[in-house]
Amino acid sequence: MNINSQIGVSTPRKESWDKVTGRVKYNGDIIPTGTLHGKILTSVYSHAEILSINTSKAEISSGVQGVVTSAQIPILTGPLIEDRPPLAKDKVRYFGEPIAIVVANTEEEAERAVRLIEVNYKPLPVINSINDAIKPDASLVHDSLGTYTCDADDIFPKAHTNIVDEINIRKGDMDIGFSESDIIFESTFKLPQSDHIAMETRNVKAEILPSGKVVIYTSTQAPSSVQKDLSKAFSIPESDIAVKVPLVGGGFGGKSNTFLEYLAFIASKAVNGKMVKISNTREQDIMSAPSKIEVEATLKIGATKDGMIKALRSRYYVNCGAYSDSGPRMARAIASECSGPYNIENIYCDSLAVYTNHPYVTAYRGFGHLSLTFCIERMLDKLAKKLDIDPLELRIRNGISPKDLSPTQAKIKPSNIGNLSKCIDRLKELIHWDEGSIVKMANGNIRAKGVSCFWKTSSSPIDASSAVILTLTSSGEINLNCSVVEIGPGTKTALAQILAEKMGMDVNKIHVKLEVDTETAPIHWKTVASMSVFMAGNAIINAAEDLMTQIRHIGSKVLDCSPADLDISNQRVYLKDNPNIFIDFKDIVHGYKDPLGFAFGKQIIGHGTYFMKDLTIMNKETGMGYVGVSWSVGAQAVEIEYDPLEFSYRLINAATVIDAGKVINPKSARSVIMGGMSMGLGLSTREEFIFDDDGMIENSSLRTYKVMRFGEQPEYIVDFIETPQGDGPFGARGMGEHGILGMPAAFANAISSATEEEFDYIPITPESIWKVKTGGKYDTF
């Protein structure tokens, strides 16, 4: 009765055929008859008082049904601190900030009318950098910081400053740590603000039915947060709000907050609840919608001459832009994981989230870990160079392992962390590390390999939860219903595999509801933090057990035995001792009708839940706390070829070895890691917002904002180590974001080795190398 394992197998995604034939419908593809269209007027200043808004011309423009400004909606929103009006009120705080919405019969009419709105601004001094924000006499982005409502207990905005929150880590004793060190040095790092560039731009449809029910159709990673946020902002019972999410064309964290949903609701309300669609252009999605954090950091490290790290003192500044959103939580994630995957007994960290007049930020793949990884991994390479120790050997020596404590003094256990040294060993083989990290080629070019390790934990709220419901078809197949959003990596197929494995049945007999509807699907926290397979997978295992208990129960009645005598696989329940005595699911899951004409049993429905275990908030003084259930670790490398005459480079190879605990779907796993690596190389080589002196983004279109293109990819090498996660579904651990984490560090390490300079920022362009190598003057040679 055994069936082949359903996990560790490259199962085609459930949605593959519909996607590759173009039949899948994304949110924006569905426009019901009668839908009105909203267009948003955005700010042309990065900081200015709004003296007046005149909408009279727009209101009489053809086809216009309504015009909304903040005057009609005096509310503030924000997941942690309520600091953001959905439409700018009294002043604008970033270039691209929404100011007004026009609703019209057609998109064209709305766009025409939006241009007729007249806004009178009085420009204010611009906070255009982290440095501007923290000056003692800095002008304030938010005068009211300190009086805003905070929805979290553990956030501490500093009134009359631009500091949104400060997180401190105090572990060990810095004096002792540095006194035990033979070598101490300090470096400063910079990673710019940039955008998610999901292929599908953000778009929403909203309607308010005559019954009062609000229906939101949106492209989001967080359907239940949208429901909660709208409920809170507009005082509507959650039960009156339905959020419907089809397949999503990429999120990368950018669709984890509520943004356009507020505006679509407001727009619908302005036209008597008719359905209104608002869809961002690419340019609006870049400059108006939330983006990735900017980070600046200074790290001071102390180590013995044999490379044992004794002390790390770090100070991070996280630029949240004009509104806090989840920026402070990324500052917290950076602090809590600031050691990287290394055991450092004496470690202090101050991580400050600050406001500026830049676009506001939200989660971005890696949730801050990318930034801390860049800093710590550059430090390790510098340390290795100074001490003349092999950089990978140095990482193995300091690698964190069970019994060590994380910076928040959480216990590292064999069951909650992957095996870093195994990842490093495998990486060494894959990139032929023993052949040397620097090779001079016959044509004068230099091949250089740079490495980086990474770790990441989930940094979720302590009460994050997930749940699934299983129903059965009359043919005995299973429908899987949960609120995980399919944002691209094939999560729902992996979940089907977990269920198939647990039930001992063919994955093709598992039917996954790809769309999410908050009216029918149980709550899943958010499709973020690489936690969907972990959380929903655990819920599925519980649900499968529930299902099997019920099936054994009815099976025992039909087969006249005890439930304990029965096993289940291949959609049938059978006697352990004699599998030839069985009954098929199809005959019992909707109740059993026996040949004599009696009927008994009932329709069987399974459910299962998962709730985060043992997490605590961090202590305000020391940072002590449990911030995640597991740490995924890995090792990465980038090989470049550097041309020392032109100061240019090519990407040759990029490698990742990650301890995934258990790989559920190898091909999907490989592609999600590769995708992360490609994004990381994009950040390394080109992606950044360029601001002018007035805080306006100069590259707000894909003509000038550059992302990695298909033909520019290096050869990708991806492999997995499998050290089971104690409480993971079949031992699986998060890995959705992780491909990105060490790429910038590995790349910068490779460039630094090849050029014999130190590159402590990204992106690194040929021009930036030329500048460092020559002083940036043509005349100098």
Partner 1 sequence: MIPFDFEYYKPQTITDTIKLYHDLDLMGRKPIYYGGGTEFISMARMHNVYSEAVIDIKGIPELNIHEMKDNELIIGAAVTLTQIAELNLFPLLSLTVKRIADHTIQDKLTIGGNIAGTIIYRESVLPLMVADSDIVIAKKDAVDRLPLKDVFNKRMNLEKGDLICQIIIKKEYLNLPSIHVKRTKVEKIDYPLITMVALEKDKKIRTAFSGLGGYPFRSSKFEQLLNSNKSNKDTKIKDAINSLQSFITDDLHGSSEYKKFMLHNMLYEALENFEEGNK
- The one among 6, 570, 685, 752 contacting partner 1 by CB under 8 A: 685
Distance CA(119)–CA(763), nearest Å, equals 36
Q: Which amino acid is at 501?
A: E
Buried b (16+ CB within 10 A) or exposed e, 130-140: bebbbeeebeb
CB 307 within 8 A of CB 384: yes
Contact range with partner 1 by CB under 8 A, out of 196-204, 410-418, 671-679, 767-775: 767-775
151 touching partner 1, by CB under 8 A: no
Three-state secondary structure string covering 444-459: CCEEEEEEEEEEECCC
- Contact of 128 with 46, CB cutoff 8 Å: yes
Burial bucket for residue 89 (CB in 10 Å: 0-12, 13-18, 19+) = middle
CB closer to partner 1 out of 519 and 767: 767
- The window from 440-448, 527-535, 734-742, 760-768 that contacts partner 1 (CB under 8 A) reads 760-768
Confirm or reject binding of residue 306 to partner 1 (CB under 8 A).
no
Number of residues forming the site for partner 1 (CB under 8 A): 29
H or E stretch at 544: helix 532-559
In the bound state with partner 1, the residue whose beta carbon lies nearer, of 192 and 223, is 192
Residue 108 found at the interface with partner 1 (CB under 8 A): yes
Beta carbon of residue 685, minimum distance to partner 1 (angstroms, whole number): 6
E-strand stretches of 201-281: 203-208, 214-218, 241-245, 276-279
**Pick 143 or 767: Cβ nearer partner 1:** 767
> Does residue number 175 form part of the binding site for partner 1 (CB under 8 A)?
no
User: Does 702 engage in binding with partner 1 (CB under 8 A)?
Assistant: no
Residue type, 403: K
Q: Is 560 helix (H, G, I), strand (E, B) or coil?
A: coil
Instruction: For residue 645, state whether it binds partner 1 (rule: CB under 8 A).
Output: yes
82 belongs to the binding site for partner 1 (CB under 8 A):
no
Exactly one of 473, 506, 770, 772 binds partner 1 (CB under 8 A); that residue is: 770
Tokens coding 704: 């000038």
250 phi and psi, to 5 degrees? Answer: 95, 135
Asked whether position 111 contacts partner 1 by CB under 8 A, the answer is: yes
Do 640 and 400 meet the contact criterion of CB atoms below 8 Å apart?
no
What is the x/- site pattern for partner 1, positions 115-134, by CB under 8 A? Answer: x-------------------
Q: Which is nearer to partner 1, 74 or 711 (CB)?
A: 711
Q: Is 35 in the site for partner 1 (CB under 8 A)?
A: no
Work out whether 766 is an interface residue with partner 1 (CB under 8 A): yes
In the bound state with partner 1, the residue whose beta carbon lies nearer, of 191 and 681, is 681
Between helices 743-755 and 369-387, what is the axis angle to 10°? 30
Considering the complex, what minimum distance in angstroms separates the CB of residue 703 from partner 1?
Answer: 8
Q: Reduce the DSSP state of residue 748 to 3 states and report it.
A: helix
Element (H, E) at 557: helix 532-559
Q: Considering only residues 43, 314, 326, 699, which one is a binding residue for partner 1 as defined by CB under 8 A?
A: 699
Applying CB under 8 A, does 176 fall inside the site for partner 1? no
Which position among 704, 715, 756, 757 is part of the footprint of partner 1 (CB under 8 A)? 704
Reduce the secondary structure of 313-364 to three states and give it as a string.
Answer: EEEEEEEEECCCCCHHHHHHHHHHCCCCCECCCEEEEEEEEEECCCCCECCC
Instruction: State how beta strands 276-279 and 36-42 pair.
Output: parallel
> Is residue 444 near partner 1 by the rule CB under 8 A?
no
Q: Which of 698, 715, 756, 757 binds partner 1 (CB under 8 A)?
A: 698
Question: What secondary structure does DSSP assign to 76-138, as a single string?
Answer: -B-SSB--B-SS--SEE-STT-EEEEEEESSHHHHHHHHTT-EEEEEE-----SHHHHHSTTP
Stretch that binds partner 1, among 111-119, 353-361, 468-476, 585-593 (CB under 8 A): 111-119
Member of 686, 713, 758, 761 binding partner 1 (CB under 8 A): 686
| Region from 13-21, 231-239, 556-564, 770-778 binding partner 1, contact rule CB under 8 A | 770-778
Q: Which is nearer to partner 1, 128 or 326 (CB)?
A: 128
Supply the minimum distance, in Å, between the C-beta of residue 203 and partner 1.
Answer: 13
Residues 600-619, interacting with partner 1 (CB under 8 A): none
Using DSSP's 3-state secondary structure scheme, residue 589 falls into strand
Q: How far apart are CA 90 and CA 48, in angstroms?
A: 9
We find the least distance from the C-beta atom of residue 102 to partner 1, in angstroms, to be 11
Task: Provide the token pair at 329.
Answer: 């939580």
Stretch in the footprint of partner 1 (CB under 8 A) among 144-152, 488-496, 654-662, 699-707: 699-707
**Interaction between residue 62 and partner 1 (CB under 8 A):** no
Q: And the tokens for 610?
A: 């998962």
Sheet of strand 214-218: strand arrangement? 64-69, 98-104, 36-42, 276-279, 203-208, 214-218, 241-245, 516-517
Report the nearest approach of partner 1 to the CB of residue 26 (Å): 17
Binding part of the chain for partner 1, among 245-253, 502-510, 511-519, 706-714 by CB under 8 A, reads: 706-714
Pairwise CA distance, residues 713 & 707, whole Å: 11
Minimum CB separation from partner 1 for residue 704, in Å? Answer: 6
The identity of residue 774, as a single letter, is: T
Q: According to CB under 8 A, which residues from 324 to 353 bind partner 1?
A: none
Among 15, 83, 107, 200, binds partner 1 (CB under 8 A): 107
Q: Which residues bind partner 1 (CB under 8 A)?
A: 107-108, 111-112, 115, 281, 283, 645-646, 685-686, 690, 698-699, 703-704, 706, 709, 711-712, 765-767, 770-771, 774, 776-778
